[in-house]
Amino acid sequence: MKKIIALVTFILSFNAHAGLISINLSDTEVVIGEKIQVDIIANDITTDLFNFDLNFDTSLFSYDSTSFTSDITPLDPFSYAVTEFPNGLAFSYFGIFEPILTIADASNFVLASFELTASAVGTSNFSFSNIEFYEPFAFNLSDIDSDSMSITSVPEPQTVILFGLAILMSLVQHQRLKK
């Protein structure tokens, strides 16, 4: 029984993790004709297939396709696609035979990096939409449809309460054995 309680306490005391995709901009204010570097960083992503859209005001920025780089270097040039559409850019990756796990070791890596050139005066918000990630070998769909991305903390178990509960249970058990 002690081993079971210790095992349950040990398992529940781990931190919870979730995959995260973030946008990093090289600058927040630019003048017309100036370029801005956009980095899309992935953390703890384990997937073989993904699709997502990066939305921004395309009347204010023009995409430079020659500046595109990524830590994902597919064997097949058709497995990673970046497509321009009226509201921004669409990213797709199909790498069943070359999963991201082997490429980036499921850690922090640059999913996409590119330059945008400012072409008009105004303010633009960058956001994700139509996000679809498929788990490796299981093809479970994680679909998040949102106009903007907000970062929230992942809830994790209260380890102090769990350890207190384990100590309380062991004291009660010890008292029973004394009688």
- From edge to edge, which strands make up the β-sheet containing 20-25? 20-25, 35-43, 109-118, 61-69
Q: Is the domain of 176 the same as that of 88?
A: no
Enclosing H/E stretch for 134: strand 127-134
Q: Is the domain of 11 the same as that of 23?
A: no
The per-residue pLDDT for range 94-127, each reduced to its tens digit, is 776 665 554 545 567 788 899 998 888 888 888 8
**More confident position, 42 or 92:** 92
CA distance linking residue 153 with residue 47, whole number of Å: 21
Q: What percent of the chain has pLDDT over 70?
A: 65
What single DSSP character describes residue 129? E
**More confident position, 175 or 107:** 175
Segment 68-95 shows an average pLDDT of 80
| Beta pairing partners, 129 | 53
Looking at residue 16, its pLDDT comes to: 53
Cα atoms found within 13 Å of the Cα of residue 167, Cβ hemisphere only? 6
Domain span including residue 27: 18-154
How many structural domains comprise the chain? 2
**More confident position, 155 or 161:** 161
Q: Is the domain of 126 the same as that of 176?
A: no
Q: Are 111 and 95 in contact (CB under 8 A)?
A: no
